[in-house]
Structure 1
Amino acid sequence: MTETAALRTAPLRARAEIDLAALRANVRTLRALAPGAALMAVVKSDGYGHGAVPCARAAVAAGATWLGTATPEEALALRAADGLDDVRIMCWLWTPGGPWREAVEARLDVSVSGMWALREAVAAAREAGAPARVHLKADTGLGRNGCQPGDDWADLVGEALRAEREGLVTITGLWSHFACADEPGHPSIDAQLGQFREMVAYAEQRGARPEVRHIANSPATLTRPDSHLDLVRTGIAIYGISPSPELGSPADFGLRPVMTLAASVALVKRVPGGHGVSYGHRYITPGATTLGLIPVGYADGIPRHASSAGPVLVNGKWRTVAGRIAMDQFVVDLGGEEPAPGTEAVLFGPGDRGEPTAEDWAQAAGTIAYEIVTRIGTRVPRVYVNVAR
């Protein structure tokens, strides 16, 4: 990931401006919504495309006491970063043969969903001469990672408690993940929360004393205070994006989008009516007009599915992608206007300057805003503003 302290006016082909003041404010807002729980800032996938380390530091400065990643490699990179040595860091997506010993030595909290993972964690603890911090994950109905209720859970809990008595693991957490928390009123939400309480009760009755019990993700943090328990895991919400339009807009929750994606108009030219635009000529100019070339494409993470639909703000007016989005560029019909080359074209941002939002692009591409921000590629420099607290 390229980082720069350049200003908005720097002559970059494209840039993703990351407002760390907005991120800090979002974290404080989310903490206020769950005052009885600790807050984990999830910075997986390079901070949902925003930059893991700068966003982690900003989140911790705003009161996050945990950081979360998917892979152990992401977690180890955070632990090695300046200023994050003493923060609790959890990672949950493991495969056999992973860097278990490195995780133990780095004091990471690791997720365990089955016997194979517990055994690898125990073996790593023996090698490292220190206990592994483990969170036992319960599959309460999502059907992805996690241990099934019943005999499988009983066996995992029993084996983990035996390892804990031997000083090889510390059961620091019990956790699960919602399937439909972004769908208000979905019956699975109550069902999963009830199942989780039962599985936690079973583990605690047999002697588990977890530091944290956690199931709430961003949408549950926003809408289900009964699920907050000891820790909330906030991902997309800390970046100021609503987990679902059905739940409300970012502003409805007091959140502000953190990323603004912009590019410099590379070319403006006049063309006659009937002129084909981009591959396949899926757009034909309806009359004499001007076309603007925007120098980003699907190699930069601009979704090709948003061809002929993606919105862009140029010179204070919304324009729409004209024809297909190519690997490195796309075109907008400027309707006869002739902005100078180098004029800023804003693909998305908070929306308060009249620009589109990541949600607008998600609607245009038939996806979710999570994907829009996360997929912005490494060719686009991240420009960090409001870095100081």
Structure 2
Amino acid sequence: MNEPPAPRAAPRPRPDHRVVAEVDLAALRGNVRALRERASGADLMAVVKSDAYGHGMVPCARAARQAGATWLGTATPEEALALRAAGDRGRVLCWLWTPGGPWREAVEADIDVSASAPWALEEIADAARACGRTARVHLKADTGLGRGGCQPADWPGLVAAARAAEKEGTLKVVGLWSHFACADEPGHPSIAAQLAAFHEALAVAARAGLDPEVRHIANSPATLTLPEAHFDLVRTGVSVYGLSPSPEVGTPQDFGLRPVMTLRARLALVKRVPAGHGVSYGHHYTTPGDTTLALVPAGYADGIPRHASGCGPVLVAGKWRTVAGRVAMDQFVVDLGGDTAEAGDEAVLFGPGDGGEPTAEDWARAVGTIAYEIVTRIGVRVPRVHLNADA
């Protein structure tokens, strides 16, 4: 029997990389396959908004397609159009629109668009007439999230207007959808209430004569824990990147997922300082004794939370350290105590965790946020190095 190929070792940052975000596309493909197994036969959308949650939209979209994602999801039309410009020709849904948006460009690019109000249907229909094509539309119902989507009282009017536009031939309602508020809190009473509201919205649409291709409400946590919410399509976002939607849902390992991003830096300076030495702005940390300080050349301009000051974890010289003093715009300090290191040595801020490094979830707990924010906020001046691009 042939042995499987050995995993490719993750390269260390090049000498010209002060900090780098490594993105393991093999892990991403594995995550998509694991999510497809949980999707109860529904199609799977990989959500690649916000530059694929900070991981690099185009390479991640390609990897997700390779692993069987039949849809891609974006928030803004600019993101969807960038996918088309990069050569993606599969189904793409874009949902965050404002009046006067590039509807015509989206219709011409064969992008599915979302509408939650009559004004959007009117602009979509105008765009379709202008380019001589039938627009593909997903109507969004507000089933209780209270954010985007059409309120139940206004839903019959919206579906009636959409059906009239279908008869005219300017658009086709190919999707009906909604979004959960608390699916990351298993057992929350709003989950059952939203499912019931979604079923009612589907029934109203059916009575109006709409026959959608896909019905979808499941986000990442619902994909992982609510098979009754899978319908025809699941929309997986943070789980594609190997992160759990919340600790209450479970760990990535519980679902066969692996974190995709590893954030590495190279120490810019290592020096000995005496006891009582102030460290960084405001001297919120002073050295308790003679010690060694290491300078990590990454700061809040790179997406390192300023409120990680005094609490952010980082692996340096084989041990977990904590940010000493304030995180500055471009750098922060760790106290190595009695340990030694040299300029150029590696610091790992977060990764999958199997090398002893912190994870994005560890950072989230330390600073009181969610792992989504930790990866998504990594700044544009941090290069993304995509590993294992070949399927």
The TM-score range, normalised by the shorter chain, is over 0.9
Divergent runs of 4+, >3 A: none
Paired residue for 1:98? Answer: 101
**1:202 positional shift:** 1.0
Contact in 1 for aligned 2:317/2:339 (Cα 8 Å): no
Structure 1 CA distance for aligned equivalents of residues 367 and 31 of structure 2: 26
The one-character-per-residue Cα deviations of 1:23-70 (angstroms, maximum 9, x if unpaired) are 000000000001310000000000000000000000000000000000
**1:364 positional shift:** 1.1
The one-character-per-residue Cα deviations of 1:338-375 (angstroms, maximum 9, x if unpaired) are 21111110000000000000001111111100000000
Structure 1 CA distance for aligned equivalents of residues 376 and 291 of structure 2: 34
Which residue of the other structure, out of 240, 243, 258, is the alignment partner of 2:242? 240
Please show how residues 211-290 of structure 1 align to structure 2 within 5 Å.
Answer: 211-290=213-292
Structure 2 CA distance for aligned equivalents of residues 272 and 57 of structure 1: 52
**1:71 positional shift:** 0.4
Normalising by structure 2, we get a TM-score of: 0.96
Say yes or no: does 1:117 pair with 2:120: yes
Which residue of the other structure, out of 12, 17, 22, is the alignment partner of 1:8? 12
Contact in 2 for aligned 1:8/1:17 (Cα 8 Å): no
Structure 2 CA distance for aligned equivalents of residues 22 and 252 of structure 1: 15
Say yes or no: does 1:295 pair with 2:302: no
**1:101 positional shift:** 0.3
Paired residue for 1:316? Answer: 318
Paired residue for 2:66? Answer: 61
Say yes or no: does 1:42 pair with 2:47: yes
The one-character-per-residue Cα deviations of 1:182-201 (angstroms, maximum 9, x if unpaired) are 01110000000110011011
**1:9 positional shift:** 4.2
Q: CA RMSD in A?
A: 0.8
Name the SS for the 1:93 alignment partner: coil
Contact in 2 for aligned 1:140/1:177 (Cα 8 Å): yes
The one-character-per-residue Cα deviations of 1:115-142 (angstroms, maximum 9, x if unpaired) are 1101000000000100111000000000
Paired residue for 1:139? Answer: 142
Please show how residues 322-337 of structure 1 align to structure 2 within 5 Å.
Answer: 322-337=324-339
Paired residue for 1:89? Answer: 92
**1:336 positional shift:** 2.4
Gaps in structure 1 of 5+ consecutive residues: 1-5
Structure 2 CA distance for aligned equivalents of residues 272 and 249 of structure 1: 42
Please show how residues 167-182 of structure 1 align to structure 2 within 5 Å.
Answer: 167-182=169-184
* Aligned residue type for 2:131: A
* Aligned residue type for 2:14: A
Which segment is superposed worse, 335-344 or 307-316?
335-344
The one-character-per-residue Cα deviations of 1:1-39 (angstroms, maximum 9, x if unpaired) are xxxxx9434221000000000000000000000131000
Paired residue for 2:381? Answer: 379
Paired residue for 2:363? Answer: 361
Paired residue for 1:3? Answer: none
Contact in 1 for aligned 2:299/2:332 (Cα 8 Å): yes
* Aligned residue type for 2:174: T
Name the SS for the 1:334 alignment partner: strand
Normalising by structure 1, we get a TM-score of: 0.97
Gaps in structure 2 of 5+ consecutive residues: 1-9
Identity of aligned residues (%): 73
**1:156 positional shift:** 0.5
